[in-house]
């Protein structure tokens, strides 16, 4: 996709001409927001006071295209497209309110937490910031620099600029270069998706200044846990970040009672293979959904080898 041909919907105007219309619009938005919260409560999508407060506080309309009717903005199940590609296909959107509410409830966020959001739009990050509070950290990452710029600007205009950091990053860029000759026709990369309903843990490595430098996640795979999205920023590789993340994976896997942690990596990633081997992972037969994938390598670490406490830096 060429950035020059992609189009954003017009952003929300944050300053309106003075007059009764502005006040009436704000009042109507507040009423619709209250109605939305009440409906999400009644539907069982909101179940905690923290999520209710976040949804009640953040003005959804500030993160949607300016021509979005308030009734659409505050509909329970309305998602809104914010960017389309050169063919008119939607490539970025704000999720429906009921989806965001359920994700926030399932995340079980606590005050002071550090949270990594994958996919930036601004609205969800603002609600996360409300939940984790002033002592929390929110980092929102997206592959699209235009999406990042838009989200950062809208968050700043809405008063969250100092509480949410928005970054452009592509963890798969190196993989696309290594495996370019194996890409399926018409696609940029071979991909096995990770869906939120199977993810049980996400780890984020941050510096003392709050900069995100690495992440990993665990998802359910039958009785096992599978390690996915293991990534360390290039400038921080070889400095113990990967070891710290793998130690954290061990601790979480023991807490969750998994018999083992499994993972898949490619045959053109010798550094990754060496790292996992040093950490106690052993080769196993290729498992679904990687069976038949060229160059697939799979590894496992049994529970007995999992560290009870983090020991790496």
**C-alpha distances in Å from residue 94, one per residue of 63, 140, 158, 263:** 8, 14, 16, 31
- Which token pair is 205? 């490595």
**C-alpha distances in Å from residue 179, one per residue of 13, 79, 93, 184, 227:** 44, 35, 29, 10, 20
Grouping H, G, I as helix, E, B as strand and the rest as coil, residue 261 is strand
Integer Cα distance of 125 and 151 in angstroms = 9
**C-alpha distances in Å from residue 116, one per residue of 89, 152, 231, 256:** 27, 15, 13, 21
Taking the alpha carbons at both ends of the chain, their separation in whole angstroms is 39
Please say whether the beta carbons of 138 and 125 come within 8 A.
Answer: yes
User: How many CB atoms sit inside 10 A of residue 197's CB?
Assistant: 7
Marked catalytic residue, from 92, 95, 120, 307: 95
Print burial letters for 210-241: b (CB count within 10 Å at least 16), e (below 16).
Answer: eebbbbbbbbebeebbbbbbbbbbeeeeeeeb
The CA-based angle 244-249-254, given to 5 degrees, is 130
Helical axes 20-42 vs 97-107, angle rounded to 10°: 60
Element (H, E) at 165: strand 164-168
Task: Verify whether residue 95 is a known catalytic residue.
Answer: yes
Sheet-wide strand order for 224-232: 199-206, 212-221, 224-232, 260-266, 296-302, 282-284
Integer Cα distance of 27 and 112 in angstroms = 32
Please give the positions annotated as active site: 95
């Amino acid at each position: 996709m060429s950035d020059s041909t992609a189009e954003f919907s017009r952003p929300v105007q944050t300053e309106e001409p003075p007059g009764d219309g502005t006040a009436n619009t704000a009042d109507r938005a507040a009423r619709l927001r209250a109605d939305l919260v009440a409906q999400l409560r009644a539907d069982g999508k909101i179940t905690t006071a923290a999520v209710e407060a976040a949804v009640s506080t953040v003005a959804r309309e500030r993160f949607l295209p300016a021509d979005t009717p308030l009734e659409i903005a505050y509909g329970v199940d309305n998602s809104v497209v914010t960017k389309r590609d050169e063919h008119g296909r939607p490539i970025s959107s704000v999720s429906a309110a009921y989806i965001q509410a359920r994700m926030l409830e399932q995340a079980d966020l606590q005050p002071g937490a550090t949270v990594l959001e994958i996919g930036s739009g601004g609205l969800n990050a603002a609600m996360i910031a409300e939940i984790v509070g002033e002592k929390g950290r929110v980092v929102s990452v997206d592959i699209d620099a235009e999406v990042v710029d838009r989200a950062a600007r809208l968050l700043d205009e809405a008063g969250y600029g100092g509480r949410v950091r928005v970054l452009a990053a592509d963890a798969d860029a190196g993989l696309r270069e290594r495996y370019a000759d194996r890409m399926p026709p018409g696609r940029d990369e071979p991909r096995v998706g990770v869906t939120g309903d199977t993810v049980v843990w996400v780890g984020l490595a941050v510096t003392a200044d709050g900069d995100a430098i690495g992440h990993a996640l665990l998802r359910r795979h039958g009785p096992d846990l599978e390690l996915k999205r293991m990534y360390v920023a290039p400038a921080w590789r070889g400095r113990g970040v990967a070891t710290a993340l793998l130690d954290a994976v061990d601790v979480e896997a023991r807490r969750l009672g998994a018999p083992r942690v499994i993972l898949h990596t490619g045959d053109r990633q010798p550094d990754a293979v060496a790292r996992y081997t040093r950490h106690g992972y052993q080769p196993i037969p290729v498992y679904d959904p990687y069976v038949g994938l060229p160059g697939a390598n799979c590894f496992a670490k049994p529970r007995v080898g999992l560290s009870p406490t983090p020991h790496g830096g």
